[in-house]
Amino acid sequence: MNILDEIIANKYKEVAERKELYPVKLLEKSLYFETPCISLERYLLRPDKTGIIAEIKRKSPSKGDINPYVSVERTSIGYMQAGASALSVLTDGPYFGGKNEDLLTARKYNYCPILRKDFTVDEYQIVEAKSIGADAILLIAAALEPAHLKQLAAFARSFGLEVLLEVRDKEELANTLSEDVNVVGVNNRNLKDFVTDVNASYEIARHIPAGVTKISESGISNPKTMVELKEAGFNGFLIGETFMHNSRPEQAAANFIREYKQLLERKTASLV
């Protein structure tokens, strides 16, 4: 059993337990349940934003502790002030050190799209995502059967949530892309062995249909890489560890974004 298989097997058990503790009827009483979602796709395409989905992640199976005592309030506000387009908040506890309260905190202090980053395997988690103030959910092609993934995507859209479809190769893309997907994310990290290679984004980019909003995820540690990915047609970039390894992730994000904008300005100037 690889890491992804282990995570998914445990996620089914976790969801079963949560259903008993927090029934759907209880989740539906949340003040966020009737609140319209903020469009992740629209914010990624806004010209006044960077396209960065800045992530809050305490740990990972491959890296161990990254920033276990991060202040979600300070970091989320700082990310948005730095120019991020959206937030990604890990809510998986056992493997990533996250919790639903982290997303609730980010929601309380920010008006922006928030992606609930978790391993969604059941409709219950989609109802839960809506109840804690998420605007979008992640569906991982490598973790779900295509028919099940499409069913979950349609269910999410029925609640107004947007769907980020995460793929690793062109076969996953072909089997899982549907009209209910808002954004396609190419994960540069192989979730089966956690090896990261940004070339995965370039290889899959040409297979993503024209007009589909696409982002590159993981392994982006240099603003120059972001410029190159943008030239390859990517609209956004999910960045977590590059910022989270710093004691002040929001400051690391601000420095990164400043350098990225400078590179873009130089490139534009050289073409004039």
Q: Which of the residues are catalytic?
A: 55, 57, 117, 166, 187, 217-218
Tokens of 270: 């050289």
Rg of the chain over Cα atoms, rounded to whole angstroms, equals: 18
> Residue 160: which region, alpha, beta or left (left: phi > 0; alpha: psi -120 to 50)?
left
**What 3 state SS string does the chain have?**
CCHHHHHHHHHHHHHHHHHHHCCHHHHCCCCCCCCCCCCHHHHHHCCCCCCEEEEECCEECCCEECCCCCCHHHHHHHHHHHCCCEEEEECCCCCCCCCHHHHHHHHHHCCCCEEEECCCCCHHHHHHHHHCCCCEEEEEHHHCCHHHHHHHHHHHHHCCCEEEEEECCHHHHHHHCCCCCCEEEEECECCCCCCECCHHHHHHHCCCCCCCEEEEECCCCCHHHHHHHHHCCCCEEEECHHHHCCCCHHHHHHHHHHHHHHHHHHHHHHHC
